[in-house]
Structure 1
Amino acid sequence: MKKLLTLALILSATLCVQAKKYKLALNLEVGKEYIQKSNAKMTITQNFNGMPIEIGMNIKGDYVFKVVGAENDQYDMEVKYRTVEMEMESAQGKSSFSSNKASDQDIMSTMLSRMIDKPFKMIMGQNGKVIEIKGIDNLFGGMFEGFDITQQQKDQILAQLKQSYGAKAFKGSFEQITAIYPEGKVKLGKKWTTETNIEAGMSVHVTTNFELKAANTEYFLLHGEGDLSSNPNSPFVKQNGMDMKILLDGNLTSDIKIDRKTGWIIDATIVQNLSGNTELKASEQMPEGMSIPMTVKSKSVITD
């Protein structure tokens, strides 16, 4: 009889845990700073006239988000970069740049150092969606001071940096990590869907199906599986004197741990596999244009 009673109590407790619903959302405090560190590694392979060309990239960044106001389920935030690092490796060799290594001999690192501690504004909802970004172009102010480079070189560098760090790029890459919260309360095993767009050198729509996998007194654990689809009608962008656009489709998986009290991301890993083409627009030099097959494999790790 005691064994039956014990079993009944265990089953009852288990059912209660499974039936319990949780509110997953940002719950940030005005005046406090929240940190996010990202490390994105990717391998890009292009097939040019039957010859595969592989490029490895590693982009790191540390950000500070200070909540300066909160109203109507929205947070007014001041955002700053603390460090920015970039590495690239190809058949031609390896190069690396860091905002911590500014010098007269390293122009790119010096440029990155001039993006540090320049605040811009971001308004974000409790659901992790970015509502507005203001003043992000301040990051690029004074970047070329003291460098003897042509206006064309400045324009090319600035265009490339804005593709990675401009307003559209920041919104898309940030939302891909933070736009994860469901509407209403959810219980263990519950699934929901989120959507966002990425604009960082290409235009991609992301649809992710999330599931609440675990909950304890410290954190919630989410697992996501999603699809990425490019917009075939996206405009061509000029890069290195050529009009081009990148069309990639694929999938992603994510495992995200969020703080139970604040909803802020403690740890996240996102893996993406994409394939498609780089399309070169027809021109006088290339009357029929060109389509270059490519694949992109990436792994992003986020910590607080």
Structure 2
Amino acid sequence: MSIFFKGILLFSALFSNVVSAQNILEYHLKVGDSMTVSQKAIQDITQDLDGTKHELKNTIEADYTFVVSQKTDSTYIINFNFERFKMVTNSNLYGDVINIDTKNSISKDDIQAQVFLGMIGSKLKMELLKNGKIKSVSGTEKMIAKMIDKAGISDELTKQVMIESMKKEFGNKSLAQSFEQMTFIYPNKKVKMGDTWVNIYKGDLNAKNTWKLDTINEKTLELSADSDITMSTKDENVSMTLTGKQQTKLTASKTSGFIKDMVVKQTAKGVSVMAQMTDVDIPTTITSTTTYKTIKHVQ
């Protein structure tokens, strides 16, 4: 047999072993590991009220840093904080609605921007299971208090109302559910290339995710997921109930398990109900693309 054909057979055997090998996919972090992630979400909302289309575009950007402080047999304790937050909202009917970027100079009179400035640098902590499920988040009480202080609100009743409102978006439970959409990606079983598994996200976004191990080698792994989603939100002004689909693709480090990059695309349709028009269902469609990228990883 020629060396050429021997080489082909050897390559085929090695490839077969890689494809059929059972892999434990999980996080392998070390105390002191530091990861800075940049996130960008572009969301388009279309509402149709009596033939008038209201089109909103939200662009949200954030940078945050995670530092592993402790490690146990089953979990990691991770300190994290927001480094930057940007939010821009445009409306085809009302023009620019929100324009906030904490990296820019912010006027003390811009109360809305001052509130988000209070997020920056606040020390938070999460307990992360090795499959990416977030067991808990703590520290948001101080962050929310800082956000309210930045707004310069002195009336105690107003403060309490704001605290309860902000807990829905930035409380311990809410942040845990939000970050799980980036971290909770691994199965509780050994898998080989092509295998699938299911997990569930809960919160304002409920998702049943069917994951697949697309490729794996010594350095990286690639996963994808197809999801059935339900969005349910309610505040003093509007409530929304929508259902739809979500597609996720990501590349992660085989060594640490932490993502290198991730793209999540969503389409959902349903109805909105305005507080002052409770008997009117407004047809609503939301499409969004969210990208995550690890811009710095120090091990």
TM-score, normalising length: structure 1 = 0.85
Q: Which runs of 5+ in 2 are unaligned?
A: 295-299
Name the counterpart of 1:262: 256
More displaced stretch, 109-118 vs 121-130: 109-118
Question: What is the identity, as a one-letter code, of the residue corresponding to 1:174?
Answer: F
Quickly say closer, same or farther: Cα 1:167–1:246, change in 2 above 3 A: farther
Name the counterpart of 1:180: 185
Q: Are residues 1:97 and 2:100 paired?
A: yes
More displaced stretch, 54-63 vs 137-146: 137-146
Query: Within 5 Å, which residues of 2 pair with 1:244-283?
Result: 244-280=238-274
Q: How many residues align?
A: 289
TM-superposition CA deviations, 1:77-129 (whole Å, max 9, x none): 22211111101010211231012232224322222112111112211101101
The structural deviation recorded for 1:159 is: 5.9
Q: Are residues 1:20 and 2:14 paired?
A: no
For the Cα contact (< 8 Å) 1:171–1:198, is it kept in 2? no
Distance (Å, rounded) in 2 between the aligned partners of 1:265 and 1:293: 36
Distance (Å, rounded) in 2 between the aligned partners of 1:80 and 1:47: 38
3-state SS of 2:246 partner? strand
Distance (Å, rounded) in 1 between the aligned partners of 2:158 and 2:136: 30
The structural deviation recorded for 1:297 is: 0.3
3-state SS of 2:147 partner? coil
3-state SS of 1:21 partner? coil
Name the counterpart of 2:236: 239
Distance (Å, rounded) in 1 between the aligned partners of 2:189 and 2:244: 29
Name the counterpart of 1:140: 144
Distance (Å, rounded) in 1 between the aligned partners of 2:66 and 2:246: 26
The structural deviation recorded for 1:172 is: 2.1
Name the counterpart of 2:194: 189
The structural deviation recorded for 1:275 is: 0.6
TM-score, normalising length: structure 2 = 0.87
Distance (Å, rounded) in 2 between the aligned partners of 1:150 and 1:262: 47
Quickly say closer, same or farther: Cα 1:148–1:224, change in 2 above 3 A: closer
The structural deviation recorded for 1:156 is: 7.1
Name the counterpart of 1:52: 53
Distance (Å, rounded) in 1 between the aligned partners of 2:167 and 2:52: 30
Higher relative contact order (CA 8 A, sep 6+): 2
Name the counterpart of 2:125: 121
For the Cα contact (< 8 Å) 1:277–1:292, is it kept in 2? yes
Distance (Å, rounded) in 2 between the aligned partners of 1:198 and 1:151: 29
Distance (Å, rounded) in 2 between the aligned partners of 1:143 and 1:71: 33
Name the counterpart of 2:10: 9
Name the counterpart of 2:281: 291
Question: What is the identity, as a one-letter code, of the residue corresponding to 1:44?
Answer: I
Quickly say closer, same or farther: Cα 1:154–1:51, change in 2 above 3 A: farther
The structural deviation recorded for 1:155 is: 6.7
Distance (Å, rounded) in 2 between the aligned partners of 1:152 and 1:49: 38
Name the counterpart of 1:84: 85
The structural deviation recorded for 1:45 is: 0.7
Question: What is the identity, as a one-letter code, of the residue corresponding to 1:128?
Answer: G
TM-superposition CA deviations, 1:224-243 (whole Å, max 9, x none): 11110356xxxx84424xxx
Distance (Å, rounded) in 2 between the aligned partners of 1:63 and 1:215: 27
Name the counterpart of 1:166: 171
Quickly say closer, same or farther: Cα 1:15–1:32, change in 2 above 3 A: closer
For the Cα contact (< 8 Å) 1:100–1:109, is it kept in 2? no
Percent identity between the two aligned chains: 24
The structural deviation recorded for 1:251 is: 0.5
TM-superposition CA deviations, 1:118-168 (whole Å, max 9, x none): 112211101101111222121121434464797787677656654443333
For the Cα contact (< 8 Å) 2:148–2:162, is it kept in 1? no
Let me know the Cα RMSD of the aligned residues. Answer: 2.5
Distance (Å, rounded) in 1 between the aligned partners of 2:273 and 2:176: 25
3-state SS of 1:186 partner? coil
More displaced stretch, 20-29 vs 10-19: 10-19
